[in-house]
Amino acid sequence: MGAIVHTHSVYATAFAVAGSPIPAITEEIAQVIGGSVDHAPYAACGTAELGKLAVKWLGNKQAVLLAKHGLVGVGRDLKEALLSCIITEKTAQIAAIAQMLGGYRELGPYEIRDLRDNYLNKYGQ
């Protein structure tokens, strides 16, 4: 990864405060992030521990929630890292609204894999 963006956007931070991952419910989050956005355990802001936890919980995805804090998105460049944050925030908002409307079904692991593979290797080429 070549760039990182950190935000305190409202819906993603609400999931970070609630201690809930942002579910993989849209094609966009599967493509750009690589699945659900997981929730790293709490560490105080500005500490090396927070950085280590964020990297560990990021795994091979492009976004991670920081407990009681916000969101980190990464990308191959700054434009893609910002896109990671935008797609995560949008999906968090959709998940919150869908929950009020009766719920949602997450994409399955094979659907996520195929969407992610298509985005990384074929989309826009």
Report the interface residues with Zn ion, using CB under 5 A: 70
Smallest distance from Zn ion to CB 49, Å: 15
Asked if residue 17 lies in contact with residue 96, where contact means CB atoms within 8 angstroms, the answer is no
Smaller CB distance to Zn ion: residue 68 or 113? 68
Smaller CB distance to Zn ion: residue 65 or 95? 65
- Residue of closest CB approach to Zn ion: 70
Smallest distance from Zn ion to CB 8, Å: 6
Smallest distance from Zn ion to CB 62, Å: 18
Asked if residue 64 lies in contact with residue 37, where contact means CB atoms within 8 angstroms, the answer is yes
Smaller CB distance to Zn ion: residue 34 or 70? 70
Which helix (H) or strand (E) is 5 found in, with range? strand 3-7
Smaller CB distance to Zn ion: residue 21 or 70? 70
> If 0-12 CB within 10 Å is exposed, 13-18 middle and 19+ buried, where does residue 95 land?
buried
Smallest distance from Zn ion to CB 61, Å: 19
Q: Name every residue whose Cβ is closer than 8 Å to that of residue 16 and which is 6 or more positions away in sequence.
A: 39, 65, 66, 67, 68, 69, 70, 71
